Amino acid sequence: MAITRSRLLIVAIALGLMTTATGAVSAQGRRGGRSGQPGGGGPDVRSRMDLLTDAMLLTGDQKDPVKARMDAAHKAAAPIRADLARTRAALAEAAAKAGGGGDIQAAADAYADAATAMTELEMKTLAEILTLVTPEQKKQGTAPAFYLMRGAFLDDKKWNEIPKGRLY
């Protein structure tokens, strides 16, 4: 798949926006106190589904379809995860070679294709989720949900935990 400059620019902007907000979203997922009690102890890290539920004010009837869409997208992301790992390794190998300018560009292009595919899957999944909520819920939680989708399908075992410092 050939990547155009405009497509790369769009992906770079989207990734930049998502990366910028990672700290803010992560901070929302922690409550002070022991076992959620205010006033002491370590942070209580909440799941991605809990954060989506709170951000979009999901009802009980909406939670199962949202979870089903996230599960299906996580399963569909398996070949993209494999491409990301393969192209990341190829990029590292090309960078390690002395004078591998052409190899580096080809490896970077392949990696950009895989990163673009993952971002596309994340955004398509968010678009599907947004079809399940009311206009009021969209106004309430679209921005936080956008940031919560970043990297949702990178872990091969689970989507519901927010990774600590792991990006594409």
pLDDT value for 103: 84
Higher pLDDT, 3 or 130: 130
CB 95 within 8 A of CB 111: no
Outline where DSSP puts E strands in 32-149. Answer: 44-45
For residue 141, what pLDDT band results from cuts at 50, 70 and 90?
Answer: confident
**Which residues does 28 contact at the CB level (< 8 Å), separation at least 6?**
51, 144
Q: Is 136 helix (H, G, I), strand (E, B) or coil?
A: helix
Dihedral over alpha carbons 84, 111, 121, 149 (to 10 degrees)? 80
Higher pLDDT, 7 or 75: 75
The Cα–Cα gap between 153 and 119 comes to 10
Name beta bridge partners: 45: 30
For residue 138, what pLDDT band results from cuts at 50, 70 and 90?
Answer: confident
CB 126 within 8 A of CB 146: yes
- Is 70 exceeded by the pLDDT of residue 133? yes
- Is 70 exceeded by the pLDDT of residue 52? yes
**How many Cβ atoms sit within 10 Å of the Cβ of residue 109?**
15
Average pLDDT, the chain: 79
